[in-house]
Chains A and B, each alone.
Chain A
Amino acid sequence: MSVTGLPSASGLPDLRQVTPVDEVGVNERVARFQTRSIKKESKIEALKMILSMIDLTTLEGQDTPGKVRQLCQKAIHLHDSMPGLPHVAAVCVYPTMVGVARKALGDCDINVASVATAFPSGMSSRKIKLEETRTAVAEGADEIDMVISRGAFLQGDYGFVFDEIAAVKEACGDAHLKVILETGELGTLDLVRRASVLAMHAGADFIKTSTGKIQPAATMPVTFVMLKAIKSFYFETGRMIGMKPAGGISGAKLAVHYLVMLRETLGNAWMTPEWFRFGASSLANDVLMQLQKQATGVYQSADYFSKD
């Protein structure tokens, strides 16, 4: 077992030094983001930005090639009767579906993201996790969403988690690595911050809240703590890290609140799909319905939008 919590030659920071989180302060700050009123043109721009940041996701045991192809169609043709819409950032699937998605997306510049490393539990050997990652990349994944070993992390075995992320990063090659902390299993905001710092030092390109399989998934307080960790890391190292809240963000209004939080925490530089993503399945249609509402003045029904 590695020496826990101590700085090591490999770059593992001393996590005991990570700034503790003031939970009451975080909740107050988050509540204020939700009071911002975004209207008219700003709202339309925000909604379009949200669409461009979505990782359209299907991660079900019942996924079939047909369902993945349908999802890819949705990614390319969000709502053709509304001109001037951006496309989503990526399609997120299981490793076995990467080839199908890659083919279905053709040469349009929507990325294929694949979960890997024994998603969602992460309970497998390192050898298998690395092999899974390499397979997904070989099949054409541009982005890998890995899960951390929460058991080892909660046990305090930070060295193990650090090495694992670093190894997966190496296996990714050119593919971007998103590291899922599964904050719903970490328990406290202090641990969320520690895990964020650990993941960023270990080589994550993105840090991501949740698998979507555990409740609570993404929440604004958790995302805020992670954004603050990204900010500190940037000041410390000069390296930008992306952020992806995932799971539970199904309404356009909530997504706009996330954008407000992003803007007021990390600033404009992060407000692109390159640095911020929403992991969601039903968010896209809600955003589309809001855009249609803005265009027509009439509240919309899901009956008139293609299923995602």
Chain B
Amino acid sequence: MSMAEATARVPVEKTYKMYIGGKFPRTESGRYFPLEDQKGAVIANICRGSRKDFRNAVVAARSAFAGWSAATAYLRGQILYRIAEMLEGRHDQFTAELVLQGVGKRKAKKEVDASVDRLIYYAGWSDKYQQVFSSVNPVNSSHFNFSVLEPTGVVSMLAPDDSGLLGLISNVAPAMVGGNTCVVLASESMPLCAISFAEVLHAADVPAGVVNILTGFHEELTTQFASHMDVNAIIYCDGDVDVAKSVQIEAAENMKRVISRVDTKWAEESAQSPYFVQDTQETKTTWHPIGG
């Protein structure tokens, strides 16, 4: 044995696990799928999440909802800023992960830049969207009538396949800044950044259960994401007419909001707007008697 071999370090590979209720468990099913690079070499074994993992994640999201939706807009904004700061600090790691999954180096760097900026964008909206979308309504009686937004609840998301980091953040940020909690199924072909992003969330004081990230097969889990009775809205970003149809039929069981973001260009400015926040809000109208 040569000296070089004797002193070479044993490589320390990262185990990519899921993120449920502020913890990083493996899938309860014990199933994995290999993620391969361009040349067919295995990069990592990824958890193939099951419907029971999803169920556990919804339980975590539901129990986090009361606290997160009651947090002040200021606090939610601060936490989003904090996520952006943590992500910026790990810029190189995320760029390298995107490159590992086949994204060109320049494009990868731009995607991480855009992801940080998108978080900042929605952090800024935290205490503003309410003013934009709320209203005082003229009514023909002695009532003060006003409408305000309230978060819809637990949002399940099928993250876009072609944008492992930016696509995920573009869906999570507007839902969470509005006080919702979410369960996300990461991009199937590019899941690495989603799990590393969970570490960023974890380091940014996001309360446990507010964002839960699963990895696995979209075809296997879409029905569960759409049918769960304790989920209040579903966002999907890929798939043909048949997928859209089945999601809508399953979602009708408990009248979930169904939000399609198919064909969104995640890198463009059109992929961010306060309407993305409004998508997962309910309008509450109050009739308050006045005068006599």
Contacts and interface: CB of A to CB of B under 8 A. Distances in A.
Contacts of A298: 227-229, 253
Contacts of A304: 229, 254
A36 B230 CA distance: 28
B189 interface: no
B64 interface: no
B261 to A, nearest CB: 24
B253 A299 contact: no
Nearest to A304: B229
Sort chain A's interface into a size bin: under 10
Contacts, number: 24
A300 interface: yes
A301 interface: yes
A236 interface: no
B254 A299 contact: no
A43 to B, nearest CB: 13
Contacts of A300: 229-230
Contacts of A303: 229-230
A302 B253 contact: no
Nearest to B226: A298
Interface residues of B, number: 10
A297 B227 CA distance: 9
A241 to B, nearest CB: 35
Contacts of A301: 228-230, 254
Contacts of B224: 299
A81 to B, nearest CB: 14
B55 interface: yes
B108 interface: no
Nearest to A292: B229
Nearest to A297: B227
A301 B153 CA distance: 12
Contacts of B51: 299
B227 A302 contact: no
A149 B254 CA distance: 50
Contacts of B228: 298-299, 301
B181 to A, nearest CB: 14
B226 to A, nearest CB: 10
A298 B58 CA distance: 13
A300 B253 CA distance: 11
For the complex of A and B, 10 pairs with smallest distance between CB atoms? A301-B230, A301-B229, A299-B228, A298-B227, A300-B229, A299-B55, A298-B229, A299-B229, A298-B253, A304-B229
